Structure formats: structure tokens, C-alpha cells
């Protein structure tokens, strides 16, 4: 290759004295052709895509083009498994006695095959809220029905194998409601409200605004109507509101905020403002309450380009609490080491 380059250089240098530009061009072309004939082909590696493109959450129902290399079996077992225990105490000095887990499964059947229920058996939450289950109750395998739980399913009725939520509860609720009572919002199985003696649990899988923001207008309708729905309950009992809210509220809640703002579903100003409006009604983002400045703590990573291993992610999953419950908050965290989905489970410890 070096010899060929020197050959071209010498020919070009000689021909710089050519009487006109056309003669020089012809000489250069001949020299270049000679170079190509005397060199071997070198296959250059393909250009790498930038990480900025990796940050966009997949639109609902999409099949990932590429699985992450870290995709595991859903078990909490690992080389250095973080403890599932919590030794933190609430502001009132009490230890936790109530644990809630929320997890977007990305499809209950695949989640189950990857061992998602193994983690549940290890964690032993009092309430487990699953999102994007994409299944109806009659199709749930026996291993998806662990002992000790009352289970409530809210599948999508508008489209088979889409969206849907499920609530597992060790304590039998006083009442369970599906949806918010508005037909256009209750077709996709996104909302379950369970009433308990001391609080409401609202589990929600908020609509994604879609690729190219095709559902952003609908998302704004949902946010507006849901705000009225939760306001109608907040004065009756305190609320634990949990799930994949499909929004990174603050710039600290995603890896690349500048390149995603108002371009990517989950980081449009109107989506973020909707969560701000809800918090202003007397609610608290439990994780940010405990860790206001904590960076690089995410709950979602696209399967593409090994983003989970590189921690190029988003914090899309939340436990939002009524302010009156904050003194009973012990911990709000994420199980980053637990595989089985493109989301990780989030966990709330309360002294109830």
C-alpha cells in the first residue's frame, strides 16, 4: 500500500509541470488506476452509530431489532447480587413493613420464560404491578399464578397482544376498578385502581406518544383526564401511584436530554409539564424526594446497541406518593441487576 502511494505521488509530482489542467487530470487518473490495481482491498469497519440515537424508548408493541447482550433470566442471582433488603427507616423512625414493586414486562409470556417470576419470589412484594403484559388471564400459565396473591388483570380490548396491566396483591383490596371511566381511555387496559384500608394504589401504564410523536395529541388528552381522575380520589385517601409513566421528568432523568427534547416520545415539554402539574396537586416523586441529585439512575434501556451495558437510559418508571405519605417513606429504588425486560423493576419500601 505504501509503495503504491509513493508511486502516485511521484507521478503527480512529475505531471505538475504539465502544460494544462486537462493533461494533469488525465495523468492523475491513470496513476490512481495503477494504484488500485496494485493494492489489496481493505475492509474498513462500518461506521458506529452515536449513542444519542439509542436513547429513544421503543414505541409500544414494537419487537426489538436486537436483544441486549446482558438479557438474562430474570433472577436476582448475579456475580455480586445487591441485597434485596432495606435497612433505611422512615422519617417517623419506623422500619418498613410494606413493599411494592412495579415492572414493565414488555410481554408477560416472554418475561415469564426469562424467569421474571423467580425475582418476584425472591423479592416477595406485598403489591406487584405489571405493565405491558400483552395477555389475557385465561392464557396465563400456572407459573404466572404464584400462591399467596390475589390477582387482577386488565387486558387491552381494542387490540390483541397489546398493552395491558396486572395487579398482584397479598392483601385483598376493598375494591378494584379498571380504567378511569372514559371509554376512549379504557380500551387498552392501562389502569388499575385498588382501594385498601389506608390508601389507594393506582397502577398505570401511560400511553407512549409514539414514533414521530404520532400519538402526542392523544397523550395530552390522557394526561388531562387522568389528572382529573386522580384529583377525584386524593381527598378521600392517600395515594400510591405507580408504573411506567412514559416520561423522563427532568433532564437528569435521561442520558441525552439535549438531543431528545421535543423530538422523542417521553421527553416533550408537554409530557413533562403534565407530570409537573400532577405533582403540584399534592404529590411527590418518591425517588427524587430521596435522591434529588442522583445521576445515571435509569429504569429503561433500549435493547439496541448494548445501551443497558453502557447505561444509556431513561427513568420512565415511578412511585408517586401523596405528600401525607412521605413521612412513612423508607426507600424508593431500582433493581438494575434484574433482567427479563428492557425495563428493570422499581421498588418502594413504606412504614405503613
> Which of these, 315, 310, 295, 308, lies nearest to 342 by C-alpha position?
308
> How is residue 247 annotated by DSSP?
-
> Do residues 111 and 105 lie in contact, with contact meaning Cβ atoms separated by under 8 Å?
yes
CA–centroid distance for 168 within its chain? 21
Catalytic residue among 152, 168, 196, 205: 205
Active site residue 205: yes
Among positive and negative, which fits the CA dihedral 156, 217, 252, 331?
negative
Please spell the DSSP secondary structure of 163-181, one letter per residue.
Answer: --EEEEESSPPSEEEES-S
Tell me if 142 sits within 8 A of 99, measured CB to CB: no
* Pairing assessment for the beta strands 175-178 and 191-195 based on DSSP bridges: antiparallel
CA 2 to chain centre: 50
Residue 176: count of CB within 10 angstroms of its CB: 16
Q: Is 206 exposed, middle or buried (0-12, 13-18, 19+ CB in 10 A)?
A: buried
Residue 89 CB: number of other CB atoms within 10 A?
A: 14
Residue 159 to residue 107: CA distance in whole angstroms: 14
Query: Which residues are bridge partners to 89 per DSSP?
Result: 95
Catalytic residue list contains 244: yes
Which residue in the list 54, 126, 223, 244 is annotated as catalytic? 244
Backbone angles phi, psi at 39, to 5 degrees: -115, 155
Report yes or no: 229 and 180 within 8 Å, Cβ to Cβ: yes
Per DSSP, which regions of the chain are E strands?
A: 98-104, 127-131, 150-154, 165-169, 175-178, 191-195, 200-204, 239-244, 283-285, 317-322, 329-334, 346-350
Determine the Cα–Cα distance for residues 166 and 152; give it in Å rounded to an integer.
6
Residues classed as catalytic: 205, 244
Amino acid at each position: 500500500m505504501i509503495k503504491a502511494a509513493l508511486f502516485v505521488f511521484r507521478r503527480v509530482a512529475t505531471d505538475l509541470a504539465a502544460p494544462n489542467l486537462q493533461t494533469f487530470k488525465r495523468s492523475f487518473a491513470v496513476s490512481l488506476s495503477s494504484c488500485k490495481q496494485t493494492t489489496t482491498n481493505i475492509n474498513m469497519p462500518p461506521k458506529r452509530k452515536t449513542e444519542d440515537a439509542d436513547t429513544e424508548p421503543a414505541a409500544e408493541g414494537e419487537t426489538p431489532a436486537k436483544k441486549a447482550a446482558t438479557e438474562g433470566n430474570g433472577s436476582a442471582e448475579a456475580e455480586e447480587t445487591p441485597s434485596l433488603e432495606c435497612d433505611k427507616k422512615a422519617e417517623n423512625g419506623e422500619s418498613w413493613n410494606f413493599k411494592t414493586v412495579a415492572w414493565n414486562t414488555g410481554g408477560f409470556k416472554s418475561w415469564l420464560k426469562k424467569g421474571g417470576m423467580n425475582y418476584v419470589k425472591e423479592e416477595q412484594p406485598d403489591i406487584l404491578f405489571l405493565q405491558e403484559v400483552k395477555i389475557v388471564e385465561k392464557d396465563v400459565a400456572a407459573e404466572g399464578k404464584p400462591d399467596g396473591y390475589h390477582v387482577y388483570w386488565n387486558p387491552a380490548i381494542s387490540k390483541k397482544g397489546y398493552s395491558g396491566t396486572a395487579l398482584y396483591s397479598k392483601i385483598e383490596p376493598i375494591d378494584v376498578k379498571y380504567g378511569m371511566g372514559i371509554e376512549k381511555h379504557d380500551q387498552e387496559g392501562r389502569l388499575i385502581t385498588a382501594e385498601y384500608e389506608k390508601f389507594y394504589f393506582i397502577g398505570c401504564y401511560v400511553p407512549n406518544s409514539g414514533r414521530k410523536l404520532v400519538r402526542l395529541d392523544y397523550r395530552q388528552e390522557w394526561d388531562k383526564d387522568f389528572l382529573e381522575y386522580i384529583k377525584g380520589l386524593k381527598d378521600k385517601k392517600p395515594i400510591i401511584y405507580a408504573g411506567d409513566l412514559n416520561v423522563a421528568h427532568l433532564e437528569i432523568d435521561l442520558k441525552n436530554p439535549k438531543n431528545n427534547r421535543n423530538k422523542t416520545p417521553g421527553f416533550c415539554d408537554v409530557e413533562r409539564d403534565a407530570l409537573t402539574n400532577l405533582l403540584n396537586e399534592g404529590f411527590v416523586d418518591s425517588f427524587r424526594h430521596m435522591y434529588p441529585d442522583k445521576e445515571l439512575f435509569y429504569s429503561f434501556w433500549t435493547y439496541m446497541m448494548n445501551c443497558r451495558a453502557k447505561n444509556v437510559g431513561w427513568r420512565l418508571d415511578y412511585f408517586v406518593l401523596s405528600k401525607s405519605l412521605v413521612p412513612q417513606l423508607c426507600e424508593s429504588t431500582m433493581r438494575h441487576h434484574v433482567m427479563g425486560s428492557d425495563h428493570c423493576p422499581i421498588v418502594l419500601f413504606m412504614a405503613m
